[in-house]
Chains A and B, each alone.
Chain A
Amino acid sequence: MTTNATKITIEFDDRTVRRFMIASIIWGIVGMLAGVFVASQLNFHQLNLASWLSFGRLRPLHTNAVIFAFVGNMMFSGIYYSTQRLCKARMASDLLSNIHFWGWQLIIVSAAITLPLGLTRGQEYAELIWPINIAVALIWVVFAVNFFWTLAKRNEPSLYVALWFYIATIITIAMLYIVNHLSIPTSWTHSYTIFAGVQNGLVQWWYGHNAVAFFLTTPILGIMYYFLPKAVERPVYSYRLSIVHFWSLVFIYIWAGPHHLLNTALPKWLQMLGTFFSLMLWAPSWGGMLNGLLTLRGAWDKLRTDPIVKFLIAGVTFYGMSTFEGPLLSIRAVNALSHYSDWTIGHVHAGAMGWNGFMAAGMFYWLTPRLYGTKLYSTSLANFHFWIGLIGILVYVGSMWVSGIMQGLMLNATTPDGHALVYPNFIETLTAIRPMMAFRIIGGSLYLLGMIIMAVNIWLTARKGSPVNETREVAVIETNQRDTMGLKETFLNDPIACTFAGLVLILGWLFLPPGADIASLVCALVFGVLAVKRFQTGHHRWSNWYDSLLTNWLPFTVLTFVAVALGGLIQIVPTVLVNRATNVEDRIQQPYTPLELAGRDIYVSEGCYNCHSQMIRTMLPDVLRYGDYSRLGESIYDHPYQWGSKRTGPDLAREGGKYPHSWHYDHMKDPRAISVGSNMPAYPHLFTEKFDQGTLWKKIGVLTRLGVPYPAMSETEVKTKAVEQGIKIVQELETQSRAGAMPDSKIVALIAYLQKLGKYDLVDPEQMPLAKPEGVPFPLKPGIPDGYRTSAVTK
């Protein structure tokens, strides 16, 4: 390796690192404060102080703040710090760094304003309205350009494993975010997603699950690979483990999204892929944990003395715990118990507080003295933060385990003969977990206290020192050894050829018609054996190729993109193209009238989906409690879908016609008047505010473009229809002695929507386009109606 080295002195951009760190701490405290507040609202409904301070609107604020503001800023500070050092180069553009920082903070502020106002897209962690979506995408591109430009300018030819994870993060989040936010605007603050029903669900959880993977996991793993060896001053445990777990993690993670929709109307092949890829994800996830924990070998004593090591190692341990729990919760039988319950809430908090929060704390305590050229103000305060944080997490997660399992068991309990529910009243199960909800407030508050202690400690450290930008002398490498790999070299080599050929055979097994599928599987197995043989004889060739790949950032990025794009393509494209016509099962939803649509938008805006699902699973207790299980066709016009992921209250899929208008009228005014012990907020503002008639016509126009079969209606017709239906509901309310409702009030629109839930028309099996849909060259198995749930249609 001949290099012509000229030495230059560079000054790293540590100002941006400091800014992101401070922003992360501030937003972290804000987000967790919101968390403690919404947790308290669950126990004390009186805390729903105003419409903009109600649970349904603040819970998205909490989740978005913690994910995108706290972890987002933390990730950026870690990436900016380590990338510059690993590339031996200053960030490519100070201007882009500035735009990235201020743009991101502006996005957070606008989210903090719009969410309490009830402006939302109604999908979890994808609530922000479309103008903010565009801003996020643009700022992400700014970040990407800045990052990859720095890679291109690097003075260190080889890419360290931390950078692999950063690359995966940047390209995957861009892909997920853009696809899941594809919408058509109806006004400056409202849009409808282009996906409906099951497609929306599938895309949403492809995004949602992989936001966890590529926003909360891969960047933090990259940060672990940089800061952990730095903190413990030991070499990383295993380079080859890094390779294996990186590529398996980014490839497998993408497929696991459907495990959020188990036992629902989602086609079986997708549910099964979700479960089995989640199980196969366990080992790759633990590969990261092992590489973290075992790096500490020979330096375990530091765990006693150094709070930074305590935080990092506890963080990695929580990562291992969460990534074991995840596959466990993806098993259908476990999921039948845990889904919609607090167990899931505990699971994500073990990840967010234990893994993200503790990794953030460890990194910040390591960074601060270096960024301000001094020693940490107080090690004992940091130690105190660690212990109070740890106790907080354990109290929180423990109480959520108890709560989730207890409520799940109660909701699913049937009498010994299996003919009736043991606890027919939902409220009973809610009352049972009330004490656990109180413990969650305590746990969350302890953790928040730890964060505040950290903020004070870091503030005092910063005051003691002064901001320093590290300068370093680096050799500028003039070499032809890097970034020279062409297309041929990238794809035409043993590892890639074997992987692709194997994948094609496995896809043949999953997708080809009966007979050909088994043949494909056998070929895949034989091929696998041959590939392993080939690797054993030529593994030097494989590792040499990989070493040279590491000196080529663009081919590395392209291959990473291929790995992460595959799973989504294979799951989503058939569902959008092939399954659209055939998979309505035996029922099709009745489109919403203008008034019902207005009511639905109020339902979405108030965040009702945060506590109410609209999906009755194929499970006896669900069917006994809520009615016949939901069919795919019953949400086919729902933009966005509202299947939900949590049942703090009962499922509403078949709420329509279950109770008279007066029941809903009273219930929305004061839930406890109707259902004693309920923790639902009261919605007095719905009785005084008017629903939005102005945009209704535009909204129906957009939905028509998206395929909802509305008849042609003029703007006046739409308004007239809405008001006429409103008047009818008001009259019916009057006969039920509820006088005084206004036909154009939000409550009337919401009642119209709630009474429509579960209304469908039967589909004549003869008329069903069961034959292969046009444009599909050969019958793919998932295109054939799924033998699992469609027996009612085919027989």
Chain B
Amino acid sequence: MNSSSPNKSTDNGPVLRDHVYDGIQEYDQKLPNWWLFTWYITIVWFVIAWVAYYQLHVGESGQEKVDGQMAAIKAAQLKEMEQLSDEKLWAMSQDEKVVSAGAATFGTTCVACHAPDLSAHLGAVKLPGLPLNDTEWKHGGNPLQILNIVRKGAPDITKGMPSWEPQLGLNRVVEVVAFVLSKHKKGEPVTLAADSPLKAGAATTAPAAAAVSATPPAAGK
């Protein structure tokens, strides 16, 4: 390979082509075998993979996989929900570990709208959320009602509260609710807000129905 006179074509050395382009010459070396084999392997892989994945449908598609995973998550959540009750959530609000975990999530996820002190006010500025430190509740003040709003969002999502369960997962949602409950007392009086959809009246069902048709099922349906 180390031809001592590279500018001449020799019998056993690489072939130097005759033609010279503006002083540039070209050898005509054989293609490196390792290079050729790398290429052949990628081509063979194309054929095998196309036949397997496209023609024979080996394995799951991305969609099937996600659909399966989301169904499993939903089933697990249903099971967990069965075990939850108002009593249990109140009990959790006394569990320091759960509450501090909830406080951490609240601190990063909820404060933008509900403020660190749950008042939904930063100084004089009203934040987008509703206050959580008083006894007036728009969507009901029972622990399970609060939990449901954090999980699924407000009935009319354009008014505010998004659905947090997909992003946070049920465990974190429960922790956050426990944190909020820790700022309240079990058995305190609960009033419904004036514009509460839970109050009997004509205005209650319409926005909720509109929201259902207009919003994508963010939680895996």
Q: Please give the residue numbers on chain A whose beta carbons come within 8 Å of chain B beta carbons, in ascending order.
A: 82, 85-86, 88, 156, 158, 160-161, 226, 229-230, 234-242, 244, 248, 263, 268-269, 272, 276-277, 279-280, 282-284, 286-287, 290, 294, 297-298, 415, 417-421, 424-425, 427-428, 509-510, 514, 517-518, 521, 617-620, 623-625, 627-629, 654, 656-663, 666, 673-676, 736-737, 755, 758-760, 787-789, 791-792
Contacts and interface: CB of A to CB of B under 8 A. Distances in A.
Interface of B: 1-3, 6-7, 16-17, 19, 21-32, 35-36, 38-39, 42-43, 45-47, 49-51, 53-55, 57, 61-66, 69-70, 72-73, 76-77, 105, 108-109, 112-113, 126, 128, 157-160, 162, 166-172, 211, 214-218, 220-221
The 6 A-B pairs at the shortest CB distance, nearest first, are namely A420-B169, A283-B39, A618-B62, A235-B25, A238-B29, A160-B21
B31 A244 contact: yes
A789 B61 contact: yes
A623 B113 contact: no
A420 B22 CA distance: 65
Residue from A88, A277, A425, A518 having most chain B Cβ neighbours under 10 A:
A425
B66 A618 contact: yes
Contacts of B57: 787
Given A272-B49, A280-B42, A237 B64 contact: no
Nearest to A163: B21
A280 B39 contact: yes
A297 B72 CA distance: 60
Q: Chain B's interface: helix, strand, loop or mixed, by majority?
A: helix
A420 B157 contact: no
A517 B55 contact: yes
A510 B50 contact: yes
A424 B27 contact: no
Contacts of B45: 276, 279
B167 A235 contact: no
B75 to A, nearest CB: 10
Contacts of A226: 22, 24
B24 A419 contact: no
A510 B53 CA distance: 12
Contacts of A755: 158
Given A272-B53, A417-B76, A675 B38 contact: no
A237 B172 CA distance: 62
B136 to A, nearest CB: 17
Given A627-B166, A657-B211, 4 more contacts: A238-B30, A625-B167, A628-B220, A760-B216
Contacts, number: 209
A237 B27 contact: yes
A663 B63 contact: no
Contacts of A736: 128
A163 B69 CA distance: 54
A517 B56 CA distance: 12
Contacts of B160: 659-660, 663
Contacts of B22: 82, 85-86, 88, 156, 160, 226
Contact of A236 (B27, B31, B35, B39): B27
B128 A662 contact: yes
A402 B29 CA distance: 40
Given A427-B108, A663-B128, A787-B57, A238 B19 contact: no
Nearest to A630: B216
A421 B214 contact: no
A418 B126 CA distance: 37
Nearest to B215: A657
A593 to B, nearest CB: 13
B55 A666 contact: no
Contacts of B66: 618-620, 623, 629
Given A282-B42, A284-B39, A419-B73, A660 B50 contact: no
B24 A623 contact: no
Contact of A229 (B24, B63, B220): B24
